[in-house]
């Protein structure tokens, strides 16, 4: 009789960890965009390999949008806050799994392209 409650508690903890991870990535992404905007005028001129910077910014924006959709989907889903995590864990919301994949990939791509831009310009 304890088995379903134990699995539900474990599933809930896994989803909480995923949400915490996405919140951290969202913070890092936002910070990256703010720092880029703050120091844009201090970048050495002429800027070479501007495409790398453009891809990095676009990737970070994609990460922010995907993070918002994921966080919205886990908390404000039609199932209600107490049921949303169950639907994610049991595969009823595969789009949220895609969102997590998109979040991590776009964040990594943004950091890689930003690093490439920095190495070529500084």
Residue 102, pLDDT score: 94
pLDDT in tens, 32-60: 999 999 988 888 788 888 999 999 999 99
- Cα 112 from Cα 114, distance rounded (Å): 5
pLDDT in tens, 13-38: 877 888 899 999 999 999 999 999 99
Domain total in the chain: 1
Per-residue tokens: 103: 């979040």
Domain region containing 19? 2-121
What are the residue ranges of helices labelled H in the chain? 2-38, 50-75, 81-89, 94-121
78 to 4, 75, 83: CA distances (angstroms) = 23, 9, 9
Q: The pTM is what?
A: 0.80
- 3-class SS of residue 79: coil
Residue at token pair 């993070």: 67
pLDDT in tens, 58-106: 999 999 999 998 888 777 654 554 555 555 555 555 667 788 899 999 9
């Amino acid at each position: 009789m304890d088995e379903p409650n134990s699995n539900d508690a474990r599933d809930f903890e896994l989803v909480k960890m995923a949400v915490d991870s996405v919140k951290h990535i969202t913070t890092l992404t936002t910070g990256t965009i703010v720092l880029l905007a703050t120091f844009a005028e201090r970048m050495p001129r002429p800027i070479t390999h501007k495409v790398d910077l453009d891809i990095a910014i676009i990737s970070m924006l994609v990460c922010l949008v995907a993070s918002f959709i994921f966080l919205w989907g886990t908390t404000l889903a039609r199932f209600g806050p107490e049921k949303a995590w169950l639907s994610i864990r049991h595969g009823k919301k595969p789009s949220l799994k895609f969102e997590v994949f998109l979040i991590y990939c776009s964040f990594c791509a943004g950091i890689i392209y930003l690093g490439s831009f920095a190495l070529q310009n500084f």
